Amino acid sequence: MKQCMETDKPLVSILLAVYKPNETWLIEQLISLNNQIYENLELLIYDDCPECPTSEEYFQKYITNFSYKLIRGKENGGSNKAFEELTQVAEGNLFAYCDQDDIWEEEKITLMAEKFLDKDVTLVCSDLSIINEDSEKIADSITQIRKRHNFKSGYNLAKGLLMSNFVTGCAMMVRKDIAKKAIPFENTLVHDQWISIIAAIHGSISFINRPLVRYRQHSFNQTGILTGIYDKQTYFKVRIHDILERYITLKQRLSFNYEISQHINECLIWIEARENYFFRPSITDLKLMIKYKKFHKISILIEIFLPFLSNTIFKYIINLTKKGIL
């Protein structure tokens, strides 16, 4: 294991979670990490599959320009737990979260680290190009396949991030102190959204309008538009029930911030009205849904008619939405 280069640049810890990786994709990712032009890096790897461990030979062979450390998980805890463990042990000034199957552009770390010269910046994110299983580019920007993905920069972004995340974990970098504040990670959110909320509460988010990651789309991706929604029942669970449970938890986790707490209280009124309306449509709940439609206008447009739609028609609407037509 090689030592970090001596440099006056801040140390960047690349935090890589692996679980039964595809050999070709992992090698491509490791080569792209090793080719970063930034000069003060370390790689921390968390292997989340004790029953089928990833060979250390990959890291010995392909990570030659900076040090690495491989941590073996004792049990499979999922990606959130893997990244939480890495966040706990990392000591770099900046943390760059990394998936096992993407490809980073060689200037990614350099361009992101430069943004932290502004002391108010707590998190930096970038656009992503899209590649397929054969590493062929199929889109120049993630916004081409996720039509409602809207990148933002600046202050006071936490409220919006509670409902809709525009930060992708593999395309973000965060200050060490902010990432540590996010521990323990929130179980009801993916790690990138939770870290982004904490970052937005404590400062400014900076967006780089360039695709600095080649994001691989394949059948095993964990996120996507309306993931897990197929009919009215799954819609209720994912978009109403689970979100209600999330906000109940977030109310406790974010109680230290008065403005966010007040926002969450309003969201809870809105979500509870949606839940009631789904089972027993009433004018009272409909008025509350419309009153708070600012939280997610598209949801209200669908849910006004949802109790009266057949499952067949609703499935058709969901398919159109997943394709980006609606």
pLDDT digits (tens, 9 = 90+) for 258-317: 999 999 999 999 999 999 999 999 999 999 999 999 888 888 888 999 999 999 999 888
Q: Is residue 243 within 8 Å of 226, Cβ to Cβ?
A: no
| Average pLDDT of the residues of the chain | 93
| Model pLDDT, residue 3 | 46
| Model pLDDT, residue 322 | 66
Cα–Cα distance, 19 to 165 (Å, whole number): 24
Cα–Cα distance, 120 to 133 (Å, whole number): 38
Cα–Cα distance, 326 to 323 (Å, whole number): 8
Q: Is residue 198 within 8 Å of 186, Cβ to Cβ?
A: no
Q: For residue 47, count other CB atoms closer than 10 A to its CB.
A: 22
Q: Is residue 281 within 8 Å of 307, Cβ to Cβ?
A: yes
- pLDDT surpassing 50 at residue 105: yes
Write down the CATH number for the domain with range 12-216: 3.90.550.10
Provide the pLDDT confidence category of residue 220 given band limits of 50, 70 and 90. Answer: low
Q: Is residue 73 within 8 Å of 82, Cβ to Cβ?
A: yes
Closest CA to 288 of 303, 272, 307, 306: 272
Q: Quick: pLDDT tens for 22-50.
A: 999 999 999 999 999 999 999 999 999 98
Whole-structure pTM over 0.95, yes or no? no
Per the structure block, which two tokens stand in for 163?
Answer: 């409902």
Per the structure block, which two tokens stand in for 73?
Answer: 């998980």
Tokens 């996507």 belong to: 224
Provide the pLDDT confidence category of residue 226 given band limits of 50, 70 and 90. Answer: low
Q: Quick: pLDDT tens for 172-200.
A: 999 999 999 999 999 999 999 999 999 99
User: Which element (helix H / strand E) includes 138?
Assistant: strand 137-139
Per the structure block, which two tokens stand in for 32?
Answer: 């792209």
| Model pLDDT, residue 29 | 98
Question: Residues 5-24, buried b or exposed e (16+ Cβ, 10 A)?
Answer: eeeeeebbbbbbbbbebeee
Cα–Cα distance, 254 to 232 (Å, whole number): 31
- pLDDT surpassing 90 at residue 257: yes
Tokens 């708070």 belong to: 292
List, by residue range, all CATH 3.90.550.10 domains of the chain: 12-216
